[in-house]
Chains A and B, each alone.
Chain A
Amino acid sequence: MNKFKLNTAFWRDVRFLKWAGQIIFLIIIFNLIRNFFGQAITNLNATNLPFSWRFLGSTPGIQVSEGFVTYPESGLQALQIGMANMLRITVSGIFFATFLGTLMGVARLSKNWIVERATTGFVETVRNIPLLVQIFFWQAVILSFPRLEEVDRGQHVVHISAKGIAFPWLDPGEASWLFGVWFLLSFSIARRVFKLRVAKLEREGVDTRPVLFAIGAFVIWNVAGWFGGYKAVGVIGFIASYVSMLFDLLPRIGLQLTFIIAASFYAYRYIAREIKRTRSAENRGILTDDDIFRIIIAALLVLILIVGLFLPLGNSLMDFLLGNELFFKADWGIPQFFDGIQNKLNWEYSGSPFTLSYPEAIQAGSSKFTRYSPDVGKIMSVGYFATWVGVILYTSVFISEVVRSGIMAVAKGQSEAGLSLGLRRRTLLRLIVLPQALRIMLPPMGNQYLNLAKNTSLGIAVAYPEIVAVGQTLYNQEGQTIAVFIVWMAFYSTISLTLSTIVNYYNRKMKIVER
């Protein structure tokens, strides 16, 4: 009856075919990469500029037009200036773009015809013009202002010229960090008060005005802090000084060991839990590529930790990679870190945490030219302004689209259900529509933030020294193009990973529980 055979020829076996194909693919890819890099090494050696990281340690002869330092001492510092400049635009850009975008998104849903039309017109205009053109446009706008002349010398409140925009700014005093921490605390205090009042409202059924109370607490707390209350934060500095001393006493090798063991343990637990979770019945034991990726990355991180930092070999490796100017000293800079905290949060500091200073136009050195004094007020350079405005407007337009479709995507039935319960329009928006719309909006919003971060790189076109511009200057000087490219890649990957981690965290937190 049956004449089946049990042994399959291996070249017809699906499992074999599957793995053979993949391994061949891997070999091809591997060879391609090897050829490319082999070629690159050969070519570079031929140009007398072999690949190296040494330039990170040596002093480049370049000047950066703005940043926390303008004459960097090392290549690494030059890149750090670029990173800081890029983050400066990104962070404030995200803040303003979100604000503006939300406003426009709501305006586009407005019942007022003219508001809706005007906003839509604006959105359609901005989003269909390349960002670079817009950045050039804003540069041209500010360059069309009169140049800074001798008559302009003196103090101003706000002053705009072809050199940029100058406006008043809060100059930090020695107690600024103390007050900063105090200020951050005020949010949690206000939140706490709000919750207490809401709890009372729910318990006793009387209007306890939670919002009013929260704002009151916020104001009182900060006013108290401004006039000396911030000194209480100094406790942290006090403790930090002792922690720093403690670390100085410990043998360094012990510290390294402890950290590596802890890191390995957590990585192991993480991977084990991840595997166990995906092995459950409903997931049918299939690891998604994200899971595999996460596991590989976790394993890689541990590996880097162990190889890179534990062994003496590791130290010399890092030395080779990053030059002598390493943040990773043998003690990982932990005592220095706590010293820093102690230094910033010293309770012996006194005086007003911030003082308002006004911009001033002064003579540039002994020349006949005029410039803004870098010490008082704040000066927004042309490059910064053009990039900043361009990026914000461009992103906010896309955010408005996200907001609009997010609100519209909340099913109409939801509003109807709310209205049928007798909720007022405002309450309906706050309790029913917005919480759901936020969930829908979050992932695309994260994408827009990522785009914003990447788009700041266009600052290079208007001479704003962010990381790409600085990198380019650096490799024009030193010739290490590949190394700079790797730094770019690492930096931007870190930014996007960080941003997407934050977004994913909130996404998971806010997810509606479903079966």
Chain B
Amino acid sequence: MVDNVNIQESPPEVQFAGVNRWLRENLFSSTGSAILTFVSIGALIGLFRSIIGFFISPEREWTAITYNLRLYMVQAYPESDFIRVWITIGLVMGLLGLTWGFNSVNEKSSLKSTGTTLMKVFSSLFLLVLIAPTSVVIDKVEGTVVDVFQQELRIYLLAVLAGLILVSYLIRTKLASQEVSKDYLNIGYVGLLVVSIWLIKVPTVTFDSSNVRIEPDPLLPLAASTKNPWTALYLLLVVTFFIGRYLNSKNLTSFKRILPVSWLLTPLIVVTWIYRKPDFTLSQITTVDLPVILGFSAIGYFVINYLNSEKLMQYQRYFVYGSLIIAVFVFSLPVLRQLKLLFFLLWILISVAPTIANSKESARSLFIVWSVAITILILLMRGGTSETLIVVPGSSIYGGFALTWVLAFFGIAISFPFGVMLALGRTSSLPIIRIICTAIIELVRSVPFITWLFFGSVMLTFFLPAGVEFDEVVRAVVVTSIFSAAYLAENVRGGLQSISKGQFEAADAVGLSTLQRISLIVMPQALRAVIPPIVSQVISLFKDTSLVAIVGLFDLLYIGSKVIPNQSQGANFLGTIQENILFCAIFYWIFTYSFARRSMKIEKRLGLGER
């Protein structure tokens, strides 16, 4: 083995083979291919012409969407509490920025590739403008032709796009060797989106003082009411990105542990504090919660720093059993729920602290994680157990895209541990457990998702004791996670089977217990192997959440297919089904497509790390 080979021949530059050759090889390699090329070009032009024509035809009532964006996003959430929604998004944004900045690898990207991308985008737009139809036929009055695209506008647009193509070509050739950070580039792209909210103006439905729609619709910036929050959020993202980057340069290891913990806790915060408006007084927090937090932080400090000293180490198992007994005892007492939980957490801390906190540095970071976690948990429980003050007309506070998001996120999050357990059960060597798990998985998978949704919405109440009733959304989440757990289990099983028998034997041979073997050796490898199928499962679950429209939950699709096309008060949008369905399709598409692309990139990176 020769290590550190520095002399490496760089591969020869790939020369641009010339337009002629490219055309010959890729479009006109044979007579058949040439015919195919012409036919498909003709078909594509026709298709795009009619699609563009459809979109810009004056028959389309696109204001049905711009007017109802709020309905699409949060449905009936009261306007006075919107600040809570923005706080939610801000929280996620801030965390996103921190994580992004903290984990930034400072990848460089050459301006050449950026230029190429821009050139591709602008050329496609150029082509689209070129082939866009000048006039369209209107269905309502037979045979009427309406001009939709003036020649001057087309020429103006073409000129602008041609200029942009030229600029990107210049970037590509003149500045090819320059490099920019990918992070800055992405921040720039997001910034462009935010700027577009300010600049792009669309017809907007507005009403005068006597509640009559103003005709024609005035031109206002896209989603005029949200441009300020989005700009603020964007700035927040940028600021937190740099903070994260700064923290990374300071090499704070404790922060590395805090980040995942906060990601885990975010959905809880969202549900207990943003979707609810907890009813509590400040005195409750100062007199009850604060002392509890401080007390347990102090106990945690003691446990972490002194329990693994030589003297106490030998009694460790007694501490573990003792704290368990205390926890169980406290659990049976009529005390605050917060205390019951904390004593169990303390038991876990005592069990793991000596192993994890074996250096000064790790002890400190463990203590930080402990204090932060219990503070947030206590406050969350205070918020979660108190009454909510938000009143929504109708049954549920969740609606629109917020509902879609909640279903998809909690569906996956709850199903994950169950799926892993089912997979372990199915591959277990214990026959009874294996058969039961197999039966559960196969039964759940054999019927379509929609029947499970019916089960949740109609039948679940039969199986619960009288008086126990769940919200409709909670029932949907329950069946979604049952369903997704069964599919997840099959994916994880694939990963488990890909692990060689030798790994099990080696784990046995070094003396790991069954639990340690599964958690330290088997699961990390299995989960890494199944990231691609799990990601595609997450995507398909996101798409499947649209099925709740059938059981009558107000999700994005239900609003688009049933609510808005039947809207006649205020603005009249009766029968705008095509526009709304198309909007839903595009909306879902943007999310799933970008998620799929993103995950493909991450997969590639993971694959590289493995070698």
List residues of chain A with CB under 8 Å of any chain B CB: 18, 21-23, 25-26, 29, 36-37, 39-40, 42-44, 46, 111-115, 118, 124-125, 128-134, 136-137, 140, 143-144, 289, 292-293, 296, 454-455, 457-458, 460-461, 468, 472, 475, 481-482, 485, 488-489, 492-493, 496-497
Cβ–Cβ < 8 Å partners of B588 in chain A: 128-130, 133
Q: Which residues of A contact B41 (CB under 8 A)?
A: 114
Closest B residue to A293 by beta carbon equals: B438
Q: In chain B, what residue has the closest Cβ to A41?
A: B462
Interface check B511, CB cutoff 8 A: no
Contact partner of B464 among A26, A39, A458, A488, CB < 8 A? A39
**Chain A interface mostly helix, strand, loop or mixed?**
helix
A455: nearest chain-B partner, CB-CB:
B448
Chain B contributes a number of interface residues (CB within 8 A of A) equal to 59
**Hey, which chain A residues are within 8 Å of B44, CB to CB?**
114, 118
Which residues in window 487-518 of B have CB below 8 A to A? none
Q: Does residue B443 face the partner (Cβ distance < 8 Å to A)? A: yes
Chain A residues with CB below 8 A from B29, complex form: 111-112
| Chain B contacts for A458, CB-based, 8 A | 450, 547, 550
Give the CA-CA distance A296 to B438 in the complex, in Å.
Answer: 13
- Cβ 8 A contact of A133, one of B434, B465, B466, B546: B546
A136 and B446 CA atoms in complex are apart in Å by: 25
Interface string of B575-611 (1 = CB under 8 A from A): 0011001101100110011001000000000000000
**Chain A residues, Cβ within 8 Å of B557:** 130, 132-133, 136
A481 touching B458, Cβ below 8 Å:
yes
Which residues of B sit under 8 angstroms from A115, Cβ to Cβ?
A: 36-37, 40
Q: Which of B11-19, B309-317, B376-384, B424-432 contacts A (4 or more CB under 8 A)?
A: B424-432
- Pick from B25, B431, B433, B447 the residue with the most CB of A within 10 Å: B447
The reply on B156 being an interface residue by CB < 8 A is no
A40 and B463: CB pair below 8 A?
yes
Nearest CB on A from B246, distance (A):
37
Contacts of A454 in B (CB 8 A): 447-449
Question: Are A26 and B432 closer than 8 Å at their CB atoms?
Answer: yes
B445 — nearest CB in chain A belongs to which residue? A496
Contact A118 B40 (CB under 8 A): yes
CB closest residue in chain B, given A23: B432
Contacts A40-B462, A134-B585, A289-B438 given: A112-B33 contact, CB under 8 Å?
Answer: yes
User: A43-B462, A114-B37 are contacts. A133–B584 as well, Cβ < 8 Å?
Assistant: yes
Q: Give min CB distance, A133 to chain B, whole Å.
A: 5
Q: Contact between A113 and B549 (Cβ–Cβ < 8 Å)?
A: no
**Is B121 an interface position by the 8 A CB rule?**
no
Contacts of B584 in A (CB 8 A): 133, 136
Not counting A114-B41, A118-B44, A136-B561, a sample of 18 additional A-B residue pairs whose C-beta atoms are within 8 angstroms of each other reads A22-B433, A25-B436, A39-B462, A39-B464, A43-B466, A44-B462, A112-B27, A132-B549, A132-B550, A133-B585, A136-B557, A144-B139, A289-B435, A454-B447, A454-B448, A481-B459, A496-B445, A496-B446
The 6 closest A-B pairs by CB, nearest first: A113-B26, A130-B543, A454-B448, A128-B592, A457-B448, A130-B546
> Contact residues of B with A, CB < 8 Å?
25-27, 29, 33, 36-37, 40-41, 44, 139, 426, 430-436, 438, 442-443, 445-451, 454-455, 458-459, 461-466, 539, 543-544, 546-547, 549-550, 557, 561, 577-578, 581-582, 584-585, 588-589, 592-593, 596
- Are B451 and A488 in contact, CB atoms less than 8 angstroms apart? yes
Contact flag A485-B459 (CB < 8 Å), given A46-B466, A134-B585, A455-B448: yes
Q: Tell me the bound Cα distance from A135 to B596 in angstroms.
A: 22
> What are 20 sample pairs from A and B whose C-beta atoms fall under 8 A apart?
A21-B430, A43-B461, A112-B27, A113-B27, A129-B543, A129-B589, A133-B546, A140-B577, A140-B581, A143-B577, A144-B139, A455-B448, A460-B550, A461-B550, A475-B458, A485-B459, A492-B446, A492-B447, A492-B451, A497-B446
Once the chains bind, are A25 and B433 in contact (CB under 8 Å)? yes
The answer for the CA separation of A464 and B539 in the assembled complex, in Å, is: 27
Query: Which of chain A's residues have a CB closer than 8 A to the CB of B458?
Result: 475, 481
Would B463 and A36 count as touching, CB distance under 8 A? yes
Find chain A residues with CB under 8 A from B546 CB: 130, 132-133
Beta-carbon contact of B447 and A488 below 8 Å: yes
User: Which chain A residues border B561 with CB–CB below 8 Å?
Assistant: 136
Q: A43-B466, A140-B578, A455-B448 are in contact. Are A293 and B435 (CB under 8 A)?
A: yes
Considering the chains assembled together, what is the distance between the CA atoms of A75 and B211 in angstroms? 52
* Contact residues in B for A36 (Cβ distance below 8 Å): 463
CA–CA, A379 and B434, complex, Å: 49
Given contacts A22-B432, A292-B431, A293-B438, contact A129 B585 (CB under 8 A): yes
Which B residues are CB-close (under 8 A) to A455? Answer: 448
- Which residue of B is nearest A290, CB measured? B438
Question: Is B435 within 8 A of A468, CB to CB?
Answer: no
A112 engages B578 (CB within 8 Å):
no
| Closest chain A CB from B90 CB (angstroms) | 28
Q: Is the CB–CB distance between A468 and B446 below 8 Å?
A: no
With A130-B546, A133-B581 given, is the CB distance from A460 to B450 under 8 Å?
A: yes
Q: A133-B584, A134-B585 are in contact. Are A489 and B462 (CB under 8 A)?
A: no
CA A134 to CA B586, docked complex, whole Å: 11
When the two chains form their complex, are residues B466 and A26 in contact, meaning their CB atoms are under 8 A apart?
Answer: no
Chain B contacts for A137, CB-based, 8 A: 581-582, 585
Q: Please state if A289 and B434 are interface contacts (CB–CB under 8 Å).
A: yes
**B562–chain A nearest beta-carbon distance, Å:** 10
| Docked complex Cα distance between A26 and B434 (Å) | 11
CB pair A292–B435 under 8 Å, yes or no, is: yes
Contact of B443 among A40, A129, A134, A489 (CB under 8 A): A489
Set of chain B residues within 8 Å of A22, measured between Cβ atoms: 430-433
- The interface residues of chain B lying within 8 Å CB-to-CB of A482 are 459, 462
The residues of A that contact B459 with a CB separation of less than 8 Å are: 481-482, 485
CB distance from B371 to the nearest CB of A (A): 37
B578 touches A144 (CB 8 A): yes
C-alpha gap A188/B143 in the complex (Å): 55
Q: Are A468 and B462 in contact (CB under 8 A)?
A: no
Known contacts A112-B36, A292-B435, A485-B455; A128/B581 CB under 8 A: no
- In the complex, A77→B513 CA distance in Å? 57
Please report the C-alpha to C-alpha distance between residue A468 and residue B453 in the assembled complex, in whole angstroms.
Answer: 11
Which residues of chain A come closer than 8 Å to B431, judged between CB atoms?
A: 22, 289, 292
Complex CA–CA separation, A296 to B589 (angstroms): 45
How far is A493 from B445 in the complex, measured between Cα atoms in Å?
Answer: 9
Q: How far is the CB of A455 from the nearest CB of chain B, in Å?
A: 7
A124 to B595, CA, bound (A): 12
Inter-chain contact B451/A468, CB cutoff 8 Å: yes
Q: Measured between C-beta atoms, what is the minimum distance from B182 to chain A in Å?
A: 23
Which one of A128, A293, A460 has the greatest number of beta carbons of chain B within 10 Å?
A128
Residue of B nearest to A132 (CB): B546
In the bound assembly, the distance between CA atoms of A124 and B590 in angstroms comes to: 11
- What residues on B are CB-neighbors of A42 within 8 Å? 466
B581 touches A136 (CB 8 A): yes
- A31 CB, min distance to chain B CBs, angstroms: 13
Once the chains are docked, how many angstroms separate the CA of A109 from the CA of B535?
Answer: 25
Identity of the chain A residue whose Cβ is nearest the Cβ of B586 in the assembled complex: A129
**Cβ distance B25 to chain A, nearest Cβ, rounded Å:** 8
- Which residues on the B side are within 8 Å of A114 (C-beta)? 27, 37, 40-41, 44
Closest chain A residue, CB of each to CB of B590: A128
Expressed in whole angstroms, the Cα–Cα distance for A134 and B442 within the complex equals 28
Instruction: Judge whether B433 and A489 touch: CB under 8 Å.
Output: no
Given contacts A118-B40, A461-B550, A496-B446, contact A485 B451 (CB under 8 A): yes
Q: Are A492 and B550 in contact (CB under 8 A)?
A: no
Q: For the complex, what is the distance from the CA of A489 to the CA of B458, rounded to whole Å?
A: 16
Specify which chain A residues have a CB less than 8 angstroms from the CB of B26 in the assembled complex: 111-113
> Roughly how many angstroms separate A296 CA and B29 CA in the complex, as a whole number?
59
Specify the chain B residue showing the minimal Cβ separation from A459: B450
Which residues does chain A contribute within 8 Å of B464, judged by CB atoms? Answer: 39
Name the contact of B544 in the complex, choosing from A29, A130, A488, A489 (C-beta under 8 A). Answer: A130
Minimal Cβ-Cβ distance residue in A for B539? A128
Tell me, in angstroms, the Cα distance from A472 to B41 when the chains sit together: 47
Per the bound structure, the CA–CA distance linking A46 and B466 in Å amounts to 10
| Chain B residues near A292 (CB-CB < 8 A) | 431, 434-435
